Amino acid sequence: MAEFIIWGRCRAGGSIDTGRLAIYEASGHARYEAVWEQRLHWNWFPGGYTVSVADVDGDGNEEFAITTGYDVEIFKCTGKATYQQIG
């Protein structure tokens, strides 16, 4: 699983808000690099977003989920620096 996950707001041209979900892994001493990125086209939610990590499907490997409180997206690691949305 990733060293850490970052969720942030960004502009995708004009006034359209999107979210940038990025996975970072260690690339050396005190160095990290983004190994995977996904843009989620959600409206900006003023209450914030939540990212959680857990084994949601019982296979012994952790998945991560991001939610606005209304929508939930669940992602699974399917290989080295490869993640797939599963829910």
Specify the residue for token string 């260690």: 26
Please count the other Cβ atoms lying within 10 Å of the Cβ belonging to residue 70. Answer: 9
C-alpha distances out from residue 2 to 18, 32, 82, Å: 22, 11, 10
Overall pTM > 0.75: no
Q: Are 59 and 68 in contact (CB under 8 A)?
A: no
List, for residues 2-22, the tens digit of each pLDDT value. Answer: 566 666 666 656 555 667 778
Parent domain of 9: 4-85
Query: How many domains does the chain divide into?
Result: 1
List, for residues 37-79, the tens digit of each pLDDT value. Answer: 887 766 655 666 777 888 888 888 888 888 776 778 888 888 8
Tokens representing 32 are: 């990290």
C-alpha distances out from residue 24 to 14, 15, 27, 82, Å: 28, 27, 9, 12
Indicate the SS3 state at residue 76.
strand
